[in-house]
Each structure stands twice: as C-alpha cells, then as structure tokens.
Amino acid sequence: MKIKEFQFNIILTHNNCKAIYLLLIFVFVFQLNSNAQYHRVDSIPVVDLGPNGNVCDNEPRLLNAYNVGCTYEWKFNDSIISDSSFIYASKGGTYSVKVISSDSIEAFDTIKLKLVFSPVFGITANKSFEKYTIDFSVEPFIQGILYLWDFNDPTSGSNSSQLRSPTHKFSSIPNYVTVKLTSVITGCSKIDTFWDVWLVLFYSVNNTPASLFNVKVFPNPISENSSLSFTTTSPISNVSARIVDIQNGTKNIILEDENYLQGEHILELNKWYDQIEAGFYLLELIIDEIPTYTKIVKLE
C-alpha cells in the first residue's frame, strides 16, 4: 500500500476578505504486486459409500469415491486392495476408503456388506395337450420369490408371466425362453434360459432342465473342437451320455455309467464327430437317473 499527497489552493471570500486555504488531500492507493503468488485451496473431499447392506454372489456391488484431483486408498478388512476411484465389491466384509486431495486433506468412509446368494433353480418344460403349448415351471419352490418370464414370442397374446408355473401357447417358435427370479428377502436376482422349446413342442421330450447341471455344448453347431461340459454338486456314480439321431432314433454312446466327483467336467466330442452325418441331433445326458437334452447341429 502506498500514500500519495495532493495539494490544492482554495480562495474563500467573507465580508470582502479573502483568505487562501491550503487543502492537503491524502489518497491511499492500494497497489497489487504483480509478482504476488496466489494459493488455491481445494475443496474438502466428500465420500459416501452408502448404508451397510448386502452384496449378491452373482452381481458385484459398485463402490464409488470419485473426487476431482484426489488419490485413493481402498481397504478390505484392513488390507489395501486398490488405489482406483472406485471398486466392485464381491465379498462379504468391511470396505473402507481414504480420499486424499492435492492439499493433503483427507476424507474417510466405511461400509459393511453381507454376502447373500441368488436363487438356485431350474426350468422344467412339458408339452401340453393343446397344440403349440408348453407347461413351464421353476423347480424347486423357493419362499419369497418374484418371477418374470419372457417367452420371446412377441406376436402371442401374452409374452410374459409372473407365475411360477405358467402355460404358454406359442404363435411362433422362439430359440429360447427366459425367466428371472428375484428374492424379496435379499434383493438378489438370477436369469435362466431354456433353449429347447422346439424340442418339447415337436418331439414331446419332457425335458428336465439342463441348467440344473449347467450342461453346455460349445461350439454348437459342432465341430472337431466341440466339447460337452456339465457340473455335479456331489459325487455321481452313474453318468451316461448319448448322441440321438432324431430321424431314426439311433444312438451313439459317449458315456455309460461313469463315475464323476463333485465339480465341473469337460468331455471332448471329436471322437464322435466323424461318426454322425450332417443334421440335427439330441445330446442326451443322464446324471443320477435324471435325463437332460441339448440340441446339437452338424452342418457338414
């Protein structure tokens, strides 16, 4: 700050007398120094991971602590797991985050999550007496479940259902039908797909769901590199598999009363690939006397 002085002569007349007064004006001048440094103080980080709750086994939960220009330190049960602005929580336990601004201002938050499990179920599908109609159901019965079926049949009168065991008459034959189960207790959801609508409608196969054993053939249409995979939840002593020719009913035996431990199992199909002609087939897999059917296609 600097002070500048200004001087003025003022002539005043009173009763024919003149007097000259000297008026000094002091002006305070504020001057900013062009070399001064300005320091910006960052805002305090704000972090809110939400209330304690659940995390579903099949759907990791997003935890986001993003603040502009900050660094992060995430911990799970007191062990550092990430320095990202967000994480996906998939386990039950305590998650915490420390958010640090560029001015070293810190903010903290913690959330406790309980691991809960999505419904475990399978779809059963049986041909009804009415033409082009299938009786569906979800097994087993589970308390506190909301059902949402999508029959993938938009030209039908009703393309969805909220029943556990709906009956649907198809106006066109879709590749698959899906059902979503949501637990009103945990909030967890799971979607399952039934692929063999045509099989039930035209070959009257009462198909116990392949989804119970996670039966898959990949790739399909099959090639020399295709394999059959399935999962058993306990040791099984009588697993059989056959490739069934739909046209003439002949069967190529793949397995016969084999023993399998608990877990996922993969069986290569290249040995039987050259034994079948081009066409449509059923892969019949019998696990613990429960048959499942999967459509397979050989193009050439």
CATH number at residue 174: 2.60.40.10
Domain identity same for 123 and 105:
no
> Domain boundary at 94, 116, 138, which?
116
Cα 98 to Cα 209: distance, rounded to the nearest angstrom: 47
Tens digits of residue pLDDT in 112-152: 999 999 988 888 888 888 888 999 999 889 899 999 999 99
Domain identity same for 100 and 136:
no
Q: Which domain holds residue 67?
A: 53-116
| Highest mean pLDDT pick, 34-43, 87-96, 136-145, 228-237 | 87-96
What token pair was written down for 275? 């034994």
Domain identity same for 64 and 147:
no
Least confident of 38-47, 53-62, 67-76: 38-47
Inside any domain, residue 72: yes
Inside any domain, residue 38: no
Inside any domain, residue 287: yes
Inside any domain, residue 226: yes
* pLDDT (average), residues 14-42: 46
Inside any domain, residue 212: yes
Tens digits of residue pLDDT in 49-68: 999 999 999 999 999 999 99
Domain identity same for 58 and 128:
no
Query: Is 70 exceeded by the pLDDT of residue 271?
Result: yes
Instruction: Tell me the pLDDT of the chain averaged across its residues.
Output: 82
Inside any domain, residue 46: no
Domain identity same for 221 and 201:
no
> Domain boundary at 96, 116, 136, which?
116
Domain identity same for 99 and 123:
no
Domain identity same for 198 and 225:
no
Q: What pLDDT sits at residue 23?
A: 43
Q: What pLDDT sits at residue 247?
A: 65
Q: What pLDDT sits at residue 206?
A: 53
Cα 231 to Cα 179: distance, rounded to the nearest angstrom: 21
> Domain boundary at 207, 227, 243, which?
207
Q: What pLDDT sits at residue 49?
A: 97
Total structural domains within the chain: 3
Query: Is 90 exceeded by the pLDDT of residue 297?
Result: no
Domain identity same for 125 and 109:
no
Q: What pLDDT sits at residue 88?
A: 97
Q: What pLDDT sits at residue 29?
A: 43
Question: pTM for the full model?
Answer: 0.56
